[in-house]
Amino acid sequence: TGEGERHLGAVLGTEEFRRGYVEDKVTKWVKDVEQLSEIGKDDPQAAYAAFTKALCHRWTFIQRTIPGISELFGPLEYALRHSFLPAIVGREVSDVERKLFTLPVRLGG
């Protein structure tokens, strides 16, 4: 369109176009996280493996390639914090634990 387009998996165009693109993606990812959370209640290891090997890479690429969009990921963080992590851990997680979970495995995350 005249406002923007996808290019090599990222999106180029006006800020409004980029924001709309990311918001649509985040909405889909939130649904994916919620579905994975349901799996995590019965099989936390499989849910964690699916998350780390596939799902999270979808948004890390977008975060690296589109500047100024961090605030659009709030709904995704909420789903991770209040749905996915409690499903695989078996309880709510504290702020300290959430920060720990953001670290790479080699650093204890």
* The predicted structure's pLDDT at residue 77: 94
* The predicted structure's pLDDT at residue 32: 96
Tens digit of each residue's pLDDT (9 = 90 or more) over 49-77: 999 898 888 898 888 888 889 999 999 99
CA distance linking residue 92 with residue 85, whole number of Å? 7
pLDDT by 10s per residue, the chain, length 109: 568 766 666 787 888 988 999 999 999 999 999 999 999 999 999 999 999 898 888 898 888 888 889 999 999 999 999 999 999 999 999 999 988 988 887 877 6
Outline where the chain has alpha helix (H): 15-42, 44-50, 56-65, 74-79, 85-89, 95-101
Alpha carbon separation from 43 to 14, 73, 80, 92 (Å, rounded): 42, 26, 16, 17
CA distance linking residue 71 with residue 98, whole number of Å? 18
* The predicted structure's pLDDT at residue 2: 65
* Residue 36: CB atoms within 10 Å: 22
* The predicted structure's pLDDT at residue 1: 52
